[in-house]
Amino acid sequence: MTTTDLIKQLFMSFNDKDNDTFIQIAREYIEHEKRKKHTVVAKDLEKALFSVSNVQNSSRRFKNSLPIPRDSEKGFPLLEIQHFDKSIDSLIVADEVKIQLEQVIREFKDADILATYNLQNKRKILLCGKPGTGKTFSAQIVSSVLNIPLVYVRFDAIISSYLGETATNLRKVFDYIESNTWIVLFDEFDVIGKNRDDSHEHGEIKRVVNNFLQMLDNFKGDSIILAATNHQNMLDPAIWRRFDDIVYYELPDENTRKKLFEIYLKTIKKDTDIDIAKATSMTDGFSPADIKMVTEEAMKTAIISSRNHLGQNDIIRAIEKFIRREKVRNNLMGNK
């Protein structure tokens, strides 16, 4: 069979939603590449196929779980199942943070061994730190490394519905989580986790916070539950006690920012006079997400102006533009 034939069949099996044939033909194609001694390509494809078929296996494995819970008033889903394939190397954080995350992953893998010593792996982890420091990203990485889908819980969705429904919604989410083993992220969890003594808080919300904490306490599943917040100062001490570990994401220091620039600019050719140290020193207080945005802006400027190299000016301009933008935003928000 020619390459074209194989690819045609691949398309057809996709069209027929015939997964088994799809995988079989993909395998044949990989063999075909191997016979042509394209070992690197074949390895690469094998790896990609492996992750595809794993996703399929896991969706098979999870097929029998409950239907996605929905808000009964408005009918929208209360959570989302997400699949990721990200490497832990793409997360640039302080060593302690990486060690903590790796420990969570390792304990999960060795949960059976730990159990024989009557020890339990860490399951409830609080991720806190400024926006754009990698909290959501970390949950995606834990899910990738363990090859378990991420259950992404949108807290605003749960809360913004009729207040009376909120507790019911939470219960539905927990029932769903307990039906299987997942990596769960309660993202932007501070919507609910604000200090319970705050007099501005509605009484209903206070009840929901208590409710959430109780559900977290009583949670018996094997899943790893991650909760992320940007406002750790506003959290009640009672919440902190509920977690097995607290991971704190700092804004990146000079060295870390340098690494971020290098990683995010890796894909483009650069002028020889590029001075990353200069960019690094200009970006004190930037989050990793800010740096990502700046590098993307700089690369796009270089690309659309048909230069095939990134110049120092592209970077400096992108940084300056970002700083101006932040100033406007801060003014609009009353200098908060």
Ligand X SMILES: Nc1ncnc2c1ncn2[C@@H]1O[C@H](COP(=O)(O)OP(=O)(O)O)[C@@H](O)[C@H]1O
Strand order in the sheet with 245-249: 79-82, 150-154, 183-187, 224-229, 124-129, 245-249
Radius of gyration of the chain (CA): 24
- The residue (of 140 and 161) whose beta carbon lies closer to ligand X is 140
Cβ–Cβ contacts within 10 Å for residue 331, how many? 9
Task: Pick one of 93, 141, 158, 247: the residue that binds ligand X (CB under 6 A).
Answer: 93
Of 128-136, 159-167, 208-216, 300-308, which segment contacts ligand X by CB under 6 A?
128-136
92 binds ligand X (CB under 6 A): yes
Token digits of residue 29: 């194609």
Nearest to 192 by CA among 241, 156, 232, 165: 156
Q: 160 to 199, contacts with Mg ion by CB under 5 A?
A: none
Does 132 engage in binding with ligand X (CB under 6 A)?
Answer: yes
**Number of shown-chain residues binding ligand X (CB under 6 A):** 14
Question: CB under 5 to 8 A by kind: which of ligand X, Mg ion, none does 134 bind?
Answer: ligand X
Q: How far is the CB of 9 from ligand X (least distance, A)?
A: 36
Residues 111-140 that bind Mg ion (CB under 5 A): 135-136
DSSP string, 66-119: PPPPB-TTT--BSEEEE-----GGG----HHHHHHHHHHHHHHHTHHHHHHTT-
Candidates 131, 198, 275, 281: give the one binding ligand X (CB under 6 A). Answer: 131
Alpha carbon of residue 164 to chain centroid: 30
- Binding flag, residue 229, Mg ion (CB under 5 A): no
**At closest approach, how far in Å is the CB of 168 from ligand X?**
27
The Cα–Cα gap between 58 and 264 comes to 31
Select the binding partner of residue 137 from ligand X, Mg ion, none (C-beta < 5 to 8 A, by kind): ligand X
Residue 335 neighbours by CB distance under 10 Å: 6
Which residues of this chain interact with Mg ion, rule CB under 5 A? 135-136
Which residues of this chain interact with ligand X, rule CB under 6 A? 91-93, 131-137, 228, 288-289, 292
